[in-house]
Structure 1
């Protein structure tokens, strides 16, 4: 786990605009992934093996912005339960990312979009779904949030917020899917002004963890559109093995 932390920091340090991590990297393998705010230490440092799930929540401070992203990765031979639970979480992530809502909407009014598929199976998570992200501050910031608890601050154009539903099974594994999203205008109608989210984070979701039996055609289309954007934005910065990996990770998904 600590090798993952060190590798991410080393890669970031290669950028001239890097000014440090935006928070301590969470790299939780297996049961450690079920500890929501886990950070590996020399005492807890788990050895990664070609099986199970690795949850990585990480971010950096750059002169051009602050990042925060979480991906859950299969290290090999995912089980049916792991694929099913990952896909439930991802479905909620997509539902929130696709939301269109009237001006004045608060985060608590959108939170259920990310939890609905988990709730249908008697599952949930106990942290907020979204927090504000500023620039060179504390990453987890207000004034806006997306969570069950009421927050009177409405989502407004220009706000950057996380979209990060999850699921945590004690002593088994943890799952979280997080991108940062920007609130933007979606157009005006006779009923007023509407808003939506523009996804900012660019990194593929692990296709090996998809349970196609519970994915809809619209959700697959969203994933393909997202991966097409990731490829178009990042391909020119890569070459060799990393470029080939990205091409495979962003290839169109079909049933």
Structure 2
């Protein structure tokens, strides 16, 4: 289940979508891997994040549009910040959530018909690797993992020494 949540997190991070797309239209990118196992989560995949106001700041969201959730039909624009936080919860047993913040950015795609957007990751911390089932990951997902953790190490490594640096090096090793 952890790896399925991770695959959803990666899918949102790598998503490319035409300008004019609402968060509800990309929510299934994250949920599809849980759905394939007959699982789901009850919360949104992401919500707007601002500065000095509220942790959940809209109007943008990445969530199912069913149930009339506010912001799910809001078009995503370059410059918006959202969380990327798919999860899974087994009631009375455990919960999984892999979360980061992402910035909506314009993306150049050769041959694209129209303007496209994607996400730039803003949060750089190691993702726990102990529960990752590498056999469930595609080569492109493994490449994402390795590139993401190389960047985490490049950003955080120069600020650490000794045991802390050794820990970071272990956590950021290629999968």
Q: Same fold (TM over 0.5)?
A: yes
Aligned to 2:92: 171
Structure with bigger strand share is 1
**CA–CA distance in 1 between the matches of 2:63 and 2:21?**
13
The 10-residue stretch of structure 1 (181-190 or 100-109) with the greater mean CA deviation from structure 2 = 181-190
**CA–CA distance in 1 between the matches of 2:119 and 2:170?**
27
**CA–CA distance in 1 between the matches of 2:103 and 2:3?**
23
**Please, which runs of 5 or more residues in structure 2 have no aligned partner?**
none
Aligned to 2:49: 133
**CA–CA distance in 2 between the matches of 1:234 and 1:152?**
37
Offset of residue 206 of structure 1: 1.2
Aligned to 2:80: 159
Matched, 1:218 2:134: no
Aligned to 2:9: 93
What is the number of equivalent residue pairs in this alignment?
A: 169
Matched, 1:244 2:160: no
**CA–CA distance in 2 between the matches of 1:123 and 1:152?**
24
Aligned to 1:227: 149
**Please, which runs of 5 or more residues in structure 1 have no aligned partner?**
1-84
Match of 1:195, SS state, is: strand
Matches within 5 A, 1:21-100: 85-100=1-16
**CA–CA distance in 1 between the matches of 2:129 and 2:82?**
25
TM-score, with length taken from structure 2: 0.93
Relative contact order: is structure 1 or structure 2 higher (C-alpha 8 Å, sep ≥ 6)?
2
Match of 1:158, SS state, is: coil
**CA–CA distance in 2 between the matches of 1:115 and 1:155?**
19
Structure number with greater Rg is 1
**CA–CA distance in 1 between the matches of 2:127 and 2:7?**
12
Mark the CA change 1:228 to 1:184 in structure 2 (over 3 Å): closer, same or farther: same
Q: CA RMSD in A?
A: 1.1
Offset of residue 152 of structure 1: 2.9
Moved over 3 A (4+): none
